[in-house]
A = this chain, B = another copy of it.
């Protein structure tokens, strides 16, 4: 009686074959509404036997949901961020699919909001996850006027915006503490752009460690907005002359530039200068020498972002909200 090798059942087919109403079938599947145990079992058995899967799109239309989540990614990003995005996406997809949501990706070109407009107009998603590096204040402002709920990955200064972020301050403190405990007394800091929140958090962690151990911070060894080779090269010369015994870099890119400055100036690492980074990347692992750094749980970050969004969407994610954690990895550069 089947037309093809494998018939796709609808809820109507099932209702007819079982001699019940489709209301009943729907209830057996969703678990909502009262239904007799016997009836439910019959329906469920039939469904299992015939491998019936409800049409998610039709359900979505009736419920005014899509079961899709958009992930905003930057159209262009530097190689260093690759690991971050991959791990993050894995985390997001994992929890999304566990809740039968799918991820629609949208590539955002700089501050161009046209792709976001399109997303909103098409109404194919229930919410948006905005990944780090897409988050400019212009984009944030645009999103707030959107009707779509959203979650940011990365810091935000706007208290109304839900976000998830790494424990930058705690991690920065821990890394710094370890260096201090290893005996360094004149730590320099190469900080990133001060307009980023993450810069502030990491800086604070650096200060916290000094304070806790009662070791003074030498302000002359602190260089913020060190986001290009020239500034860094200059800073490295100065801090070396000022007698620094170690350099804490706020991220892997700064650290790479710092390492090549040191190489250029023939300052030996770790003999003449220790180096550590507050953000890990494969690069640092393979540097010569390998660089001590903090490894964040990026997959976990993606998971948390998705969980948070699902909560906003009214789902009840069963996943435990584990605090995001990190590891300090001590490599040759601080030995």
Contact = CB atoms under 8 A, between A and B. Distances in A.
Interface of A: 53, 55-58, 60-61, 66-68, 71, 75-77, 79, 82-83, 86, 89-90, 93-94, 97, 100, 102-107, 115, 118, 121-124, 228-229, 257, 260, 264, 281-283, 286, 288
A170 to B, nearest CB: 27
B288 A260 contact: yes
A209 to B, nearest CB: 29
Interface majority SS on A: helix, strand, loop or mixed?
helix
Contacts of A105: 71, 89, 93, 103-105
11 contacts: A56-B124, A57-B66, A68-B124, A79-B79, A79-B82, A79-B281, A89-B107, A97-B118, A102-B104, A104-B104, A264-B288
Q: How many copies does the complex hold?
A: 2
Given A105-B93, A229-B286, A286-B229, A57 B118 contact: no
A79 B83 contact: yes
Contact of A61 (B61, B106, B121): B61
A58 B59 CA distance: 11
Contact of A283 (B60, B75, B79, B94): B79
Contacts of A100: 122
Contact of A102 (B89, B122, B229): B122
Contact of A56 (B90, B122, B282, B283): B122
Contacts of A82: 79, 82-83, 86
Contacts of A104: 68, 102-105
Given A57-B66, A76-B86, A93-B106, 19 more contacts: A53-B123, A56-B123, A57-B57, A57-B123, A61-B61, A68-B104, A71-B105, A79-B83, A79-B281, A79-B282, A82-B82, A82-B83, A82-B86, A102-B124, A104-B105, A105-B105, A229-B286, A257-B286, A264-B288
